[in-house]
């Protein structure tokens, strides 16, 4: 009896999660990615940084005063 109740509770809890597993976003077109990359390059050109700017996370000095 307890096993049936437990199974029903587990099923009722997990069943709605299957709806999330099937719903997703469609892939964007390559042209959208190219446009975003071009805008990013234009906005960061000559500023000394970019989307993957190299950094040394072990260095003590820097301009960011925020403690993490």
Q: What is the mean pLDDT of each run of 10 residues along the chain (68 residues)?
A: 88 80 76 93 79 68 70
**3-class DSSP assignment, residue 39:** helix
pLDDT of residue 14: 85
pLDDT of residue 60: 74
pLDDT of residue 20: 67
pLDDT of residue 52: 65
- Whole-model pTM: value is 0.39
> Mind giving me the DSSP string for 2-33?
HHHHHHHHHHHHHTTHHHHHH--PPPPPHHHH
Q: Which of 62, 60, 44 has its CA nearest to residue 52?
A: 44
């Amino acid at each position: 009896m307890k096993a049936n109740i437990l199974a029903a509770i587990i099923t009722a809890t997990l069943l709605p999660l299957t709806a999330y597993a099937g719903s997703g976003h469609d892939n964007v077109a390559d042209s959208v990615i190219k446009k975003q990359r071009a805008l990013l390059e234009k906005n960061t050109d000559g500023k000394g940084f970019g989307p993957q700017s190299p950094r040394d996370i072990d260095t003590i000095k820097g301009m960011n005063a925020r403690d993490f």
